[in-house]
Structure 1
Amino acid sequence: MVHSANATQGGSDASASGSSGNNSNTELSCAYIDFLILGVMFILYSLWWTVQTTRIFFFMRWKHVEFHSSLVYPCSKQRWKQLIQSFIEICLIICGLLLVTNYRHVPGVNWAGGGVGGGGEVNDSKNSMLKLRSCIILVAFGLSCLVNIGSQTCTYSLPQGLDYCIFIFAFGVEAILFGHYVMDDERDDSLASIGENLVTYCAIMTVVVTILEFHYRNQVVFPFVRSFVTLVQGTWLCHYGTIICSPYKWDITDYNISILSTYFAAHGMANFIVIFIIWLITYKLALTDRCCCLPVSLEKTNEVFLENRVHFNYHMLDRLGSDAEQ
C-alpha cells in the first residue's frame, strides 16, 4: 500500500512537473510573436532612417546647405511628402497591435486555454503581461507618430522639439519595461534576464544619442548612430526571441549564458557593416539621380541656393557710377 501510494504520489509529481514544463514552454512560445513584431519594427525604422539621412546629407552637401537632422524625412516623389512616413508607421503599429492582441494560435499551444498542460494561473498572467508590455511599447511609438504628424501640419501651434521629446519618451518606456520585467524571474543570471538587459542597454543608448542629436541638429553622426543602435536592437530582439521562445530555443546552461553577450557583440559588428553598405549604395544611387526619395533632381532643380546667386561688388559699382558722371 505504501509502495502504491508512493508510486501514485510520484506519478502526480511527475504529472505536475510535466504540466509546469509545458506551461513554461507555452509562455515562451507565446512571447515569440511579441519579440518578432518589435524587432521587425525597429529594423524597418533603422533602414528608413539610414537611407534618408544619407541622401539628405549628400544633397545638402552638394547644395552647400547646412545639414539639419530630423525624425521625419520627406519623399518628394509622392503626394503628402511630409506625412507619408508617419502614416505608414501608424499603419504598421496598428497591424502589430492587432496581431499581438488577437493572435491566439501557436502550433501545439492554445493561448486562450492557458497552454498545453492545462493552463495555470501563473502562465495566463505572464502571457497577459507580455502582451501588455508589447502593446504599451507600440502605443508609445504610435503616439510619437501622431505628434510627428501634428508637428508637420500645425507647425506654429506645437512647441518646437515636441516630436523629439515624445520619441525619447517612447524609447524610455521601452527601457523601463524591459529593465524591470523579465519572463524568467527564477534566476537572476538566466538567458531571459541577460537578453532583456541587453535590450534595455540599447534603448538607453538610443535615448542618450537622440538627446545629443536634438542638441546638435547639424551633426550627421548622431542620426547615423541612432539608426545603428536601433538596428542592433531590432536584430537582437528577433535573435533573442529565437533563442528563448522558438522551437529551437536554448537550454539554460552556463555555456549558453556566457556566449550570449558574444552573439550581441557580433550583432553590433554585423549591423555596422550593414549601415556602411546602405550608406555606400545610397550615395552611388544619389550620384546618378536614381535614389528613390531624393528631394529634387540635382540637374533639374529650379531652387535658388546661395552659391547660385550673383554677388555684386558695390564699391566697384560706385566707382563706375562716379566715373560715368564725370
Structure 2
Amino acid sequence: MSLVDEESADVDMTDAGSDINFGDITGTILTKFVDLLQAAVILAIAYLAIKWISRYFKKIETTHEQQRTALNLVEKIVNGFVAVIGVTLALKVIGLDISLLVSVGVLGLSYGLKDIIKNYIAGILIFFKGPFKIGDIVKIKKYTGKIDRMDFQSTGIKTFDNRNITIYNSDIMTESIENYSRYPVRRMEISVKLGYGTNVQKAAKIFEHILATDPDVQKTPKYSVIFSEFETNCFVLKLKFWVKAPSNMLAMRSRIGLKIQQAINEESIFGPYQKTFELNQDMTLTPDRKKWSQAMDVAEPEQPIVEPVATQQVALEFSDADEPEA
C-alpha cells in the first residue's frame, strides 16, 4: 500500500469518528435516567399514599364498627384508584402514555357494569347510613321479615312464612324502609265493630280492663279505647296500646282478641249484624234491646216467635295483619 492510500484511510476513519456525537448520547442517557428517577418517585409517592390511606381507614374503623365492611370496600377502591393514577403517571414520564387507553377502559367498564356498580354504590351507602342490620325485622317493598344477609350487591330477607327474598341494593335505596326493631316499644291497634244499641261506656270500660290486666301491655305510654267511626250496621271502637319490641306480636293479638270476644259474649254486647232481639227468660225484651227497639219504632211483640240468641257475633279487625312474629 502506498503512502497516499494510508493517508486516505486515516482521513476516512477520522471522518467516521467525528459523526458519533458522544455529548448527545450522554444527554439522552441522563434524560432517560432522570425520567426513570421521576417515575420511581411517583410510584414511591403512590405507595406511601396507599399506606397512609390504609392506616387512616384502620383508625376510623375502630369508631365505626357497623360500617367496617363498607370502610374496607371504600379503602380498596381508593387504593386501587391511587395505584392506577401512579402507574399511569410513571409510564407517561418515561414516554409510555396510556392515559387514553385507561380512560377508554374505565368508560367501557363503567357502561358495561353500570347496574353492578349502581348496586355496589347503593350497598356502600346502606352500610354507612345503617337503616338496618342483620337480625332486624323490617318491611321493604311488600316483604316483611328478618334481615339474614347483607352484602354490597343485595340484601336478603327471610320472611315469616320461610321464604328467602333477595332485594338489590339499588331498589332498596328508592324504597321506604320500616324497621320494626329500631325502637324499644311499638303500638298495636285492634278495631272492634259493635252493633247499634250497645252500651258504649260499658263496652269501653270492659276493653280498658282487658288492656289494664294484660301483662304485655305497657302502662307507659298509656293504652286507650277511642271511638273511630260510624258504619252502616255498626260503630267502631279502636283499642290502641303499646308493647315491648321485639315480642310475639301475633300471639299477643290473638290472646287479646280472644279476651275481647269472651267479654263480649259474657256481657251481652251487641254485634253489628245481629238480626233478632235478645229476650229475657219471660220472653220480654232486655232493657238495652227494648230501648233500641223503641228508638227504631219497632213494636214489641206480645208473643215473639224468635228464639233467644245464644252468642253475639262481633267483628274484630286487626291492623297490620301481616306484622312479623318477632
TM-score (norm 2): 0.29
Give the structure with higher Rg (CA): 2
Higher RCO (C-alpha under 8 Å, 6+ residues apart): 1
Greater fraction strand: 2
Greater fraction helix: 1
